[in-house]
Structures are given as structure tokens and as C-alpha cells.
Copies of this chain bind each other. A is one copy, B any other.
């Protein structure tokens, strides 16, 4: 299959949530135009995104919400359960532990790591905090597939390097630094500062204009 762009994958996630909401409202058919309107994009974009993966609609009618949600879930691989390791039991880490939305979507935090001996051995939610040195043992035992990196910037690269050696191939990085990984390893970044600074940029410009 051809390479699918990151924006397309992101939008599939938003369509998925849109469909969930429509299904809650007992709506069982939807047009690309309606999905587009809900998400502030064009209907052609919606149809094009879906067309990379198949022809899920009926011409003249639209899409069946339940069927399309299932298709997108399958495309995104969220029809299965994913085991997540959380590295860093600071503020962000603890917020994620308590964030029940993840579990609903099939992402289960199965292990927590920190290097702070005051935290190691204590509980965070239901889980014991392990020392980061035990990461490979636990990663294998719990079959961790994704690691969430919530450690300070200067520790992040080393932590990822170690986890790659343990066989973890996907990372959600909260550290404000560019992580380097070998071919085949995937990193996605979550960086609130970048978004806030983008807001700052636009507000500053508007001010200058008038």
C-alpha cells in the first residue's frame, strides 16, 4: 500500500470520534459533508482520506456510522488492546495515570518507571512504580508495545535509547526535545509549549497589525 500521510492518519482519529458521537445520538447514516462540517474541513478531504483504505460509502446515501467506525478502528489498530509503559512519575505522568479516556480507547498503562528512589516501590494508581533500571525485564514481562516518555528533556534521549534496546518500537514523547531513533521506530511528540508559543505568535502579530 502507498504511504499514507500523517495528517490523514490524524484526521481518521477525529472521524472516529465524530462517528462515536453520531452513534451515541442514534444516527446511523452520515455524509462526508456532515463529517467535514463537524470537523471544519472539506468533504473532499474526508472522502479522499477514506479512499486510501477502501470504498466504505454508498453513492447517493453516505456512510453507515457503525460500519465506518469499525473500519476506521481497524485501520488505526485500535480494535485491539495496547500495552503502555509510562516513564516518569512526575506531574504529567500522574495526570496520564488518572486519565481514564486512554483505557476506554484500548490504551492500557501496564507499568510505570522512575529513577527517583523516593518514588520507586510506591504505588501510582493501581501500579507499583518500578526503577528505570528494570525497564527491560518489565517491558518483556508485560509485553509493553508503546512507551510514554514523561521525563525531563536531558533524560529523554537516553531513556528512549534504552527502551529501543528492550524492543519497544513506539514512543509518545512529552519531553521538549527532538528524540532520535533508528529506522522503523516511531516517535510522536506532545509538546504544549510549542502550541502555546504558536498562540503567542499569533496574538503578538494581531496586536502589531492594530
Task: List chain A positions with a Cβ less than 8 A from chain B.
Answer: 6, 9-10, 12-14, 16-17, 38-40, 75-78, 80, 82, 91-92, 94-96, 98-99, 101-102, 105-107, 145-146, 153, 169-172, 176-178, 180, 184, 186, 188-206
Contact = CB atoms under 8 A, between A and B. Distances in A.
Contacts of A176: 17, 101
12 contacts: A6-B198, A76-B197, A76-B204, A77-B205, A82-B200, A91-B98, A99-B192, A101-B176, A102-B192, A105-B197, A146-B196, A172-B199
Contacts of A186: 198-199, 202-203
A9 B201 contact: yes
A191 to B, nearest CB: 8
When all copies of this chain in the complex are counted, the total is 2
A84 to B, nearest CB: 8
What's the dominant secondary structure at chain A's contact region?
A: helix
B188 A199 contact: yes
Contacts of A80: 204
A169 B76 contact: no
A105 B172 contact: no
A178 B38 contact: yes
A190 to B, nearest CB: 6
Contact of A194 (B10, B102, B202): B10
